[in-house]
Structure formats: C-alpha cells, structure tokens
A and B are shown apart, each in its own frame.
Chain A
Amino acid sequence: AQKITQTQPGMFVQEKEAVTLDCTYDTSDPSYGLFWYKQPSSGEMIFLIYQGSYDQQNATEGRYSLNFQKARKSANLVISASQLGDSAMYFCAMRETDSNYQLIWGAGTKLIIKP
C-alpha cells in the first residue's frame, strides 16, 4: 500500500492565487513527521516545511503553510499569493519514528504558475 499519496500529478494556477497541494499518508506509528520539498527545473531539492505528528499548531513558513488534518491523515501544502518562481515539482515525504529516520516520498505534483 502507498504510504504517501499525492493525487495531483499536475496543476495550473494563476499568479497571485493561493494553491493547495494534496498529500495523504498512511501510518500506524503514532510518532511521525511530514515534510514538503520543492524541486525546481534546475533539479535541486529545497526543504519547505515540516510538521510533527504531535505538533498542536499547523506549521507555517512565510508563504507556505501546512494544513494538517491528523484524523484524515492529510498534510496539504498551501502556498499563498503564488509567484512565477513557485513553478516546480513539489514532494511530500513522511518519516516514521520506528523507520530509523528513513523518508518515504510521494510521487510529486508538478505546479505551473500562469502569468
């Protein structure tokens, strides 16, 4: 079974609009962490935001926020006021505490921001 699912292979969004990238996960470990990374066309992997399973508040980092719904096992990334430079692949990843800190990755969502 897929542990990390990103259901949107690709998305087009108008510049300055907010965008939500979906991520659902599957784990029975009560202690886990969720990560979002951005991969621009240049290829590097850039860390965006982290949410721990015991964190009481949704994580925020600048224009990025994580809509964490634990009961639904979803950890959607929200980008406010999108910019042309946000065009990239976005990956959701999960680490379970009993996995020796290995990250499990989703297949990614390709986001294209239209001017």
Chain B
Amino acid sequence: NAGVTQTPKFRILKIGQSMTLQCTQDMNHNYMYWYRQDPGMGLKLIYYSVGAGITDKGEVPNGYNVSRSTTEDFPLRLELAAPSQTSVYFCASESRGREQYFGPGTRLTVT
C-alpha cells in the first residue's frame, strides 16, 4: 500500500518554463488536495477535488491548473513558472471528513 505518491521529489525550473507535478493515491479517496508550503510557513491550499471530474480553487490558485480524470490521479500544472512559485508542494488525499494523508512533497525552485 503506497498511500500518496508524488513525482518528482526535486525540480529546478527556469522562469517561464512549465511543468506538471504528479500525484497518485491508491486508497480510493475521493477528496484530493494540492498545497504549497513556503519556508517557515504553514500550508496554503492551491486546488482541491471532491471526486473525478470535479475540481475547485483554493486560497492561492493563480499560476496553477489541475485536472482529475481518475480517482487516483490529481496532477498539478504550473504554467509560465515564476520565482514566487519556489516552494514545497504537497499533495494529500482523504476519506471524507477525516485526516488527510500526505505525499512526501516536491521541492521546486524557479530561477
């Protein structure tokens, strides 16, 4: 049982490049989330999904896009990367109403 997996673990992007952060969960959870964590700070919600085909914006969605074509996968797309997107990105999933299970995170640097 792998839980929540994220790839890549680390990435360096140049300003203006694009990339997709992958997130997969094998717990059949309907709810999935993308967060970013800036140094010394708590988590901020970027996007979330309550089921396949349904996504919605969180607190800080600008510069990102998501899709949810299957229950298992919830990729996060960064378009036109900017230095302000340098952060650690966490994907999480949950069975409704209980604790969220987190992936190991992706450390992204935009230079």
On A, residues with C-beta under 8 Å from B are 4, 33, 35, 43-47, 50, 91, 93, 100-103, 105-108
Contacts and interface: CB of A to CB of B under 8 A. Distances in A.
B74 interface: no
B50 A44 contact: no
Interface string B45-71: 100101000001010000000000000
A43 B98 contact: no
Contacts, number: 52
Given A50-B98, A102-B58, A107-B41, A43 B50 contact: no
A43 B99 contact: no
Contacts of B105: 43-44
Would you list the 6 A-B pairs with minimal beta carbon distance, nearest first? A105-B42, A45-B102, A47-B99, A105-B43, A107-B42, A43-B105
A44 B99 contact: no
Interface size class of B (residues with CB under 8 A): 20 to 34
A44 B98 contact: no
Nearest to A103: B100
A102 B100 contact: no
Contacts of A4: 42
Contacts of B41: 107-108
B104 A43 contact: yes
A106 B58 contact: no
A91 B90 contact: no
A85 B24 CA distance: 29
Contacts of A91: 42-43
A44 B96 contact: no
Contact of B97 (A44, A45, A47, A101): A101
Given A35-B99, A47-B100, A101-B97, 13 more contacts: A43-B104, A45-B92, A45-B102, A47-B99, A50-B98, A100-B56, A101-B96, A102-B48, A105-B42, A107-B40, A107-B41, A108-B41, A108-B42
A102 to B, nearest CB: 6
